[in-house]
């Protein structure tokens, strides 16, 4: 992998994280029981919906729908 | 395989969809238009296994009934290569691919299918792994563009706005720049 391609993708993932952070309904996130809160915070940081869903024992689509509809976290990347 | 579409021209091809694509696309009110573009969209068993919501399952069940969707079985050769891809991607300092997305990429490469994904790891892999650079990877925005080119929606710009609003998927400036001339 060339350094330029690597740098571009690192930047793209950083931008995606910033968008998730900016849009997230933090009041909702912070009010959740620990498992859900940690899963949502992990999702905001990484965009990794699969691991986040596993943390709370939900289907991945159920988790992403919850993140979008209740925590206002968009999908970005 | 080329899916270059002229306005009003319809081209049918086959595709394979991963979870990230389905989750977003199913939320779009005109989601069934995708079957105008693709003859059959395959859903790997590993993707189907991780979908649980009623809305997603209903959409998939209806697609399977009507023949626009088909389940792609776990095949040992593809599975093995997908696992190698997962392992290879984890050695790099960018977001890796998980097994279901890797499986879709291998299927896309092996059977010349369009890979439908919104997964950053899978999209990144195509740009850094020469073995996968020829795989056609489409995101929702690319499907919307194809629908517009084929005349199924009136305005690419308006449709993209509707899609982003309904699916809560935000495309970055970089993503939008690819279609800059058509979004003015």
- Residue B1 pLDDT > 80: no
Q: Output the pLDDT for position A2.
A: 76
Q: Which of A59, A73, A19, A49 is CA-nearest to residue B95?
A: A49
Task: Tell me if chain A has a CB within 8 Å of the CB of B67.
Answer: no
Query: Other CB atoms closer than 10 Å to residue A67's CB: what's the count?
Result: 25
Query: Which pTM was predicted?
Result: 0.93
Burial A14-23 (b: 16+ CB within 10 A, else e): eebbebbeeb
What is the reported pLDDT for A77? Answer: 75
Q: How many domains does chain A have?
A: 1
List all residues 6 or more positions away from A12 whose beta carbon is below 8 Å from its beta carbon.
Answer: A77, B120, B124, B172, B174
A39 occurs within a structural domain? yes
Is the predicted pLDDT of residue B2 greater than 70, yes or no? no
Domain that holds residue A37: 3-69
User: What pLDDT does residue B180 have?
Assistant: 84
* pLDDT number for residue B130: 92
Let me know if residue A77 belongs to a domain: no
More confident residue, B7 or B124: B124
Residue A59 in domain: yes
What residues of chain B lie within 8 A of the CB of A1, using their CB?
A: 92, 128-129
For domain B13-182, give its CATH number from 3.40.50.1010, 3.40.50.720, 3.50.50.60, 3.90.25.10: 3.40.50.1010
Phi-psi region of B168 (alpha: psi -120 to 50; beta: other; left: phi over 0): left
Give B6's pLDDT tier (boundaries 50, 70, 90).
very low
> Any chain A CB within 8 A of the CB of B49?
no
Q: Judge whether A76 lies within some domain.
A: no
Average pLDDT over residues A1-18: 88
What does the pLDDT look like over A37-53, one tens digit per residue? 999 999 999 999 999 99
Q: Domain locations in chain B? A: 13-182
**Domain annotation covers residue A74:** no
- Residues of chain A found within 8 Å of residue B53, distances taken between Cβ atoms: 59, 61-62, 65
* DSSP letter assigned to residue A75: B
Q: Are B94 and A9 an interchain contact pair (Cβ–Cβ within 8 Å)?
A: yes
The model's pLDDT over B128-148, given as tens digits with 9 standing for 90+, comes to 899 999 999 999 999 999 999
Beta-strand pair B13-17/B38-44: parallel
Residue A57 lies in a domain: yes
Contacts of A70 in chain B (CB under 8 A): none
Q: What is the pLDDT of residues B42-79, one digit of tens each?
A: 999 999 999 999 999 999 999 999 999 999 999 999 99
Q: Is the pLDDT of residue A3 over 90?
A: no
Say whether residue B18 is in contact with chain A using an 8 A CB cutoff.
no
Most B-contacting residue of A14, A15, A23, A59 (CB-CB within 10 A), to test interface: A59
Q: What is the pLDDT of residue B167?
A: 97
- B43 - beta bridge partners? B71
B127 touches chain A (CB under 8 A): yes
pLDDT of residue B174: 86
* Distance in angstroms between the alpha carbons of the first and the last residue of chain A: 20
Residue-wise DSSP of B23-69: HHHTTSTTGGGHHHHEEEEEEEHHHHTT---HHHHHHHHHHHHHTSE
C-beta neighbour count of B164 within 10 angstroms:
18
In a domain, A26, yes or no: yes
Which pLDDT band, with edges at 50, 70 and 90, does B8 fall under? very low
* A64 pLDDT tier (thresholds 50, 70, 90): very high
Instruction: Please determine, for residue B3, whether its predicted confidence score (pLDDT) is greater than 70.
Output: no
For residue range A17-30, list pLDDT tens digits in order.
999 999 999 999 99
Determine, yes or no, domain membership for A75: no
Residues on chain B touching A49 (C-beta within 8 angstroms)? 20, 23
Strand, helix or coil at A50? helix
CA torsion angle for A76, B94, B3, B110 (degrees, to 10)?
-130
């Amino acid at each position: 992998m060339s350094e330029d391609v690597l740098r571009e993708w690192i930047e793209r993932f950083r931008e995606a994280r910033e968008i998730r952070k900016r849009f997230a309904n933090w009041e909702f996130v912070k009010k959740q029981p620990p498992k859900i809160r940690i899963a949502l915070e992990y999702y905001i940081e990484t965009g990794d919906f699969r691991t986040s869903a596993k943390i709370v024992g939900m289907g991945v689509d159920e988790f992403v729908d919850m993140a979008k509809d209740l925590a206002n976290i968009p999908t970005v990347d | 395989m080329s899916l270059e579409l002229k306005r009003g021209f319809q081209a049918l091809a086959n595709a394979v969809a991963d979870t990230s694509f389905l989750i977003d696309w199913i939320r779009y009110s005109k989601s069934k238009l995708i079957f105008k573009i693709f003859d059959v969209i395959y859903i790997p068993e590993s993707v189907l296994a991780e979908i649980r919501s009623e809305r997603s399952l209903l959409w998939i069940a209806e697609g399977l009934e009507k023949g626009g969707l088909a389940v792609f079985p776990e095949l040992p050769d593809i599975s093995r290569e997908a696992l190698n891809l997962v392992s290879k991607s984890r050695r790099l300092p960018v977001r890796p691919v998980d097994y279901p997305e890797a499986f879709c990429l291998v299927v896309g490469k092996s059977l010349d299918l369009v890979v439908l994904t919104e997964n950053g790891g899978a999209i990144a892999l195509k740009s850094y792994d020469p073995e996968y650079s020829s795989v056609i990877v489409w995101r929702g925005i690319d499907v919307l563009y194809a629908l517009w080119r084929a005349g199924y929606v009136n305005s690419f710009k308006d449709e993209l706005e509707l899609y982003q609003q309904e699916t809560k998927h935000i495309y970055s400036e970089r993503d939008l720049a690819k279609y800059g001339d058509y979004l003015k």
